[in-house]
Every structure is written in C-alpha cells, then in structure tokens.
C-alpha cells in the first residue's frame, strides 16, 4: 500500500488546526486472534490510517497542536528474528522519513514518552470508550501525571473526542481519495459482471462468492470490504444473509451485495439478477420498481439537497409501487404515515462510504437537521424490496428479494455514479447473461 505522504501530512495539519491546542492520541487497531495463535487478517484502524498511511499493527499517532505543531509516530522497531517469521516492518527510523513524521519512537517507549508530552497540555483529544485497553492506558498516564502535580506538572483541563474532528475531514474526499474509490468501484463492478456471466442453475452460492474473491484479488484489491452476501431465492429476504451455502435454482433471483477494499477504501455494490438469465414477469415488475426508486434517489444527490432527500424520493416511488401492486393499501401519504411499507422495505436508502463501508461522519448537524450534501461526499444509494410469504401478499411475489446499490460521489453540480460499470437495467442484465441462457 502506498499513500502519498503529502496527503496524510496535509490531513494531520488540518486536524491540528481544527484541534487548536492540546495533544491528540490516536492508536491503531489491535491484532485479533481467530483461533489459538492464528490471527484474522490484520486491518488497521481507519482513523489512524487516514492520518498516517501506516498499516502495521502496534502503532500510535500523537499530534501536538499549537504554535509548533508536531506529529509523532510510535511503531514496532526493526526485529530480524520477527521479520523472518512475520515479514517486513519499517522500524522507527525508516518510518520517520518514509511517512514524514517529525519524531518517531518505538512502541515500547510509549509509557515513558507519552506522559512527558501530555504534561502541561491544555486539552487531550482522545476517543474515550472506543477501546477499553487504550482507555486504561490513557487513564494510567493521566494518574501518573497527577502524582507529579507538586512538581508543577498539570493534567489537561479538557478532553474531547478526536474522532469527531476527523469525521468532518473524512466526510469530504480529496481528489486522491475519489480516484482510489473509483478504482475500488471499478474492481467490484467487474466482479459483479463476472458473476452474471459465471452463474448457472445448479451452482452453489459460494461458487459465485469465489468468483468475487478471484476478481478482487486478481485486480489488486487487498480484501473484500465486508462479508459478501450471495443470496439465491428466498435467502435474499434475509438482509444480512451470508451463509452463502445454498443451491441456485432455476427461476430464482440471485441478490449479491459485494464490494472490495483497495488501499483501505471500500466499494459497496448490490446487483440482483435471474439465475437462469431471464426475469419472470413478477420479478421484472418488482425489479423495475426498485430501479425507478433508485433512479429517483440518485437524482436527488446534489449539493442543493440534504442527506435524507434521496431516501425520501426512493420511498415515494416504492410506496406508490407497493400500492399499485396490491402490497399496501391506502394513499402514499397514509402508507408513509402508518409505516405499512416497512413489511417490504425496512432499511434506509444509503450510508456514507469511504475507509469504512459504513463510513464515519454525522448525518445530522448540531441543530438536529439533516446535513446538506457537499461536493466530495460519497454515499451509497440502495433501495430494495423484500417480500416474504404472507397472507396479505399475492403468491406470485413470494420470496422475491431485490436490492440495487450504487456508490455515488457528490460533485459541485450534481453527482457521479462510481459503480455505473456494473450492468443494472433489465436489458443490460439480460444482454450480458445471453450466454448463461444458451447454456
Ligand atoms: N454491504 C453493506 C451495506 O450495503 O450496507
Ligand atoms: Mn451499503
Ligand atoms: Mn451493500
């Protein structure tokens, strides 16, 4: 992974300006044991990575704001023996020059160096409650400082959640980040196209999941951005289905929610298509409805609208469609008011996207209003419709589950759909599945 160091040092400068004064402590994520002495693949903390570009575990960033701002990294030292077993590590000396820090220390110097830097500072910017082990460490450093009160050393008067300041930065992507997110989106879109072309009646869901992993890794992504949902038939009506272990049947739809992570940045795409390459009339009716809702929602993605406008637009279209299909009764306003649409559409229409698949950042401003969309925001637009068998539902709709999800960047004048390369209309999907139909 290679982040331009200017990008990260500019972010640190921005953060220190926003802090005004005091010190920030931002640790990376711990390694997590999967079983006995085997670990899950390591994933750095997104806040730490955003500010450093540094991907090794056992690291911490400290920022000192004020007249002479300073950024300091603590990281693992070089270790010939460990590097034979586990691979390369930068070590404190190389990390300083390679990543552009003012000072670096080895992680085992933490308890000596941090209290010195923390003493006599007016404010501590730390995300209390995010990780109890770090909470304990910080509390111990502060108690140590308190004991030095008679020597004229004071503890910070104030504490603030540093993540809130970083969230505001993370919400507005730089051109560099948008470029990466486009590449992440392109890889995932290619994988969805591949899935449409590789699917066959009688294959297993996990065979199709494997096509995604193949395409993600082959194209340079480091990981799936989240556990892929590969849900045939009724499984699509389970929102977080990820067993991915069922047979794909003739006449069923296949809903796939899968995206990759490229240099830390997620893509998040859902496509729904017929296993045999051809929609039935009922499937097509619901699909066209969800697509119309998505088109209406994407149309609202621009800086003149607030966060919730796309969701509201999608709901209007879906609810009208549910009434027309006999799934809901009453007028659009009545159905919105009584919430009966939630039997078929029970989630919201999107979320911020970035380093985290459900990315950082508030959805409302301090006054409690939806925040206005802003150029550089990236969000998903993902309406759906999930119809479980029920007495109040015509049988030809039973077990149809459809979601259509794209990643959308807000521009100065409108928006850019990053994931448009993944086939989406009925015509596009059936055309790219022509070979599947002919066997
Ligand atoms: N894949 C997670 C989501 O769509 O929110
Ligand atoms: Mn999503
Ligand atoms: Mn998704």
Residue 268: active-site member? yes
Architecture of domain 5-169: 3-Layer(aba) Sandwich (3.40)
What pLDDT band is residue 351 in, cutting at 50, 70 and 90? very high
**81 Cα: distance to centroid of ligand 2 (angstroms):** 42
- Tell me how far apart the alpha carbons of residues 173 and 179 are, in angstroms, rounded to a whole number: 10
pLDDT over 60 (residue 340): yes
**Is residue 201 a contact partner of residue 435, using CB atoms and an 8 Å limit?**
no
Percentage of the chain modeled with pLDDT above 70: 99
pLDDT over 90 (residue 437): no
Decide: 261 in ligand 1 pocket, CB within 6 A. no
Q: Of residues 163, 194, 306, 347, which has the active-site annotation?
A: 347
Give the per-residue pLDDT at 159: 96
Residue 351: active-site member? yes
**Is residue 219 a contact partner of residue 187, using CB atoms and an 8 Å limit?**
yes
* Contacts for 362-366: CB closer than 8 Å, 24+ residues apart: 362/167, 363/307, 363/308, 364/307
Q: Would you tell me the crossing angle of helices 5-19 and 91-99 to the nearest 10 degrees?
A: 90
pLDDT over 80 (residue 230): yes
Give the per-residue pLDDT at 149: 79
With a CB cutoff of 8 Å and minimum separation 6, the contacts of 116 are none
pLDDT digits (tens, 9 = 90+) for 233-258: 999 999 999 999 999 999 999 999 99
- Tell me how far apart the alpha carbons of residues 437 and 439 are, in angstroms, rounded to a whole number: 5
Q: Which atom of ligand 1 is nearest to the CA of 351?
A: 5
Q: Which of 273, 226, 223 is nearest to 248 (CA)?
A: 273
**268 Cα: distance to centroid of ligand 2 (angstroms):** 5
Residue nearest ligand 1's atom 4 by CA: 268
**405 Cα: distance to centroid of ligand 2 (angstroms):** 7
Decide: 257 in ligand 1 pocket, CB within 6 A. yes
Mean pLDDT of the chain: 97
Token match 């539902």: residue? 393
Give the per-residue pLDDT at 150: 84
**Least trusted range by pLDDT, from 47-61, 146-160, 209-223:** 146-160
pLDDT digits (tens, 9 = 90+) for 353-397: 999 999 999 999 999 999 999 999 999 999 999 999 999 999 999
Q: Of residues 358, 388, 416, 428, which has the active-site annotation?
A: 358
Radius of gyration, CA atoms only, the chain: 25
Percentage of the chain modeled with pLDDT above 90: 96
**257 Cα: distance to centroid of ligand 1 (angstroms):** 7
Residue 435: active-site member? no
Segment 401-413 shows an average pLDDT of 98
pLDDT digits (tens, 9 = 90+) for 270-298: 999 999 999 999 999 999 999 999 999 99
Residue 211: active-site member? no
Q: Which atom of ligand 1 is nearest to the CA of 259?
A: 1
pLDDT digits (tens, 9 = 90+) for 88-124: 999 999 999 999 999 999 999 999 999 999 999 999 9
Token match 């999941």: residue? 209
Decide: 357 in ligand 1 pocket, CB within 6 A. yes
C-alpha distances out from residue 278 to 209, 250, 252, 387, Å: 21, 10, 10, 20
**200 Cα: distance to centroid of ligand 2 (angstroms):** 26
Backbone dihedral angles phi then psi of residue 233, each to the nearest 5 degrees = 55, -130
Residue nearest ligand 1's atom 5 by CA: 358
Q: Which CATH number fits domain 172-438: 2.40.110.10, 2.60.40.10, 3.90.230.10, 3.30.300.30?
A: 3.90.230.10
SS (H, E, C) the chain: CCCCHHHHHHHHHHHHHHHCCCEEEEECCCCCEEECCEECCCCCCHHHHHHHCCCCCCCEEEEECCCCCEEEEEECCCCHHHHHHHCCCCHHHHHHHHHCCCEEEEHHHHHHHHHHHHCCCCEEECCCCCCHHHHHHHHHHHHHHHCCHHHCCCCCCEEECHHHHHHHHHHCCCHHHHHHHHHHHHHHHHHHHHHHHHCCCCCEHHHHHHHHHHHHHHCCCCEECCCCEEEEHHHHHCCCCCCCCCECCCCCEEEEEECEEECCEECCEEEEEECCCCCCHHHHHHHHHHHHHHHHHHHCCCCCCECCHHHHHHHHHHHHHHHHCCCCCCCHHHHHHHCHHHHCCCCCCCCECCCCCCCCCCCECCCCCECECCCCCEEEECCEEEECCCCCCCHHHCCEEEECEEEEEECCCCEEECCCCCCCCHHHHHHHCHHHHCC
Give the per-residue pLDDT at 1: 44
pTM above 0.75, yes or no: yes
pLDDT over 90 (residue 436): no
Q: Candidates 225, 405, 419, 422: which one to mutate for ligand 1, based on the most atoms within 8 Å of Cβ? A: 405
pLDDT over 90 (residue 404): yes
Q: Which atom of ligand 1 is nearest to the CA of 405?
A: 4
Q: Which atom of ligand 1 is nearest to the CA of 258?
A: 1
Residue 214: active-site member? no
Q: Of residues 105, 215, 386, 430, which has the active-site annotation?
A: 386
Segment 207-235 shows an average pLDDT of 98
Q: Which of 161, 162, 128, 166 is nearest to 361 (CA)?
A: 166
pLDDT digits (tens, 9 = 90+) for 18-27: 999 999 999 9
Segment 175-203 shows an average pLDDT of 98
**Encoding tokens for residue 187?**
């890889």
Residue 382: active-site member? yes
Segment 313-317 shows an average pLDDT of 98
C-alpha distances out from residue 337 to 308, 317, 341, 342, Å: 17, 15, 10, 11
What pLDDT band is residue 2 in, cutting at 50, 70 and 90? low
List the chain domain ranges.
Answer: 5-169, 172-438
pLDDT over 50 (residue 413): yes
**100 Cα: distance to centroid of ligand 2 (angstroms):** 34
């Amino acid at each position: 992974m290679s982040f331009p160091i200017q990008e990260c040092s500019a972010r640190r400068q921005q953060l220190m300006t926003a802090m005004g004064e005091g010190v920030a402590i931002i640790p990376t994520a711990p390694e997590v044991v999967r079983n006995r002495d085997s670990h899950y693949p390591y994933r750095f903390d997104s806040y730490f990575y955003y500010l450093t570009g540094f991907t090794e575990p056992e690291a911490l960033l400290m920022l000192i704001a004020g007249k002479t701002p300073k950024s300091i990294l603590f990281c693992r030292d070089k270790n010939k023996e460990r590097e034979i077993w586990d691979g390369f590590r930068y070590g404190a000396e190389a990390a300083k020059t390679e990543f552009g820090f003012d000072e670096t220390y080895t992680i085992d110097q933490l308890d000596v160096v941090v209290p010195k830097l923390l003493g006599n500072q007016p404010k501590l910017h730390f995300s209390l409650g995010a990780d109890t082990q770090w909470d304990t460490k910080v509390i111990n450093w502060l108690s140590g400082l308190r004991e030095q009160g008679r020597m004229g050393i004071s503890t910070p008067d104030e504490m603030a959640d540093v993540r809130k300041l970083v969230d505001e930065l993370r919400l507005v992507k730089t051109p560099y980040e948008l470029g990466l997110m486009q590449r992440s989106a392109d890889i995932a879109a290619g994988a969805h196209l591949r899935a449409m072309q590789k699917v066959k009646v009688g294959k297993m869901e996990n065979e199709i999941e494997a096509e995604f992993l193949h395409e993600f890794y082959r194209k340079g992504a480091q990981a799936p951005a989240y556990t892929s949902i590969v849900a045939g038939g009724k499984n699509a009506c389970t929102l977080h289905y990820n067993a991915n272990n069922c047979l794909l049947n003739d006449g069923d739809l296949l809903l796939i929610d899968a995206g990759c992570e490229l240099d830390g940045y997620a893509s998040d795409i859902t496509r729904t298509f017929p296993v045999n390459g051809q929609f039935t009339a009922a499937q097509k009716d619901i699909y066209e409805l969800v697509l119309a809702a998505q088109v209406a929602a994407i149309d609202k993605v621009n800086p003149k609208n607030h966060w919730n406008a796309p969701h509201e637009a999608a709901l209007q279209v879906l609810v009208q469609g549910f009434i027309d299909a006999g799934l809901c009764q009453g007028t659009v306003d009545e159905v919105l008011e009584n919430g009966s649409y939630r039997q078929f559409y029970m989630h919201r229409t999107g979320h911020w996207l970035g380093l985290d698949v459900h990315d950082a950042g508030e959805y409302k401003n301090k006054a409690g209003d939806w925040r206005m969309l802003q150029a550089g925001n990236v969000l998903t637009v993902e309406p759906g419709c999930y119809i479980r068998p029920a007495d109040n539902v015509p049988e030809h709709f039973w077990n149809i589950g459809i979601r259509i999800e794209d990643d959308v960047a807000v521009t100065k004048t409108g928006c850019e759909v990053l994931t448009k390369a993944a086939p989406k209309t009925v015509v596009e999907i059936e055309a790219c599945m022509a070979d599947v139909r002919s066997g």
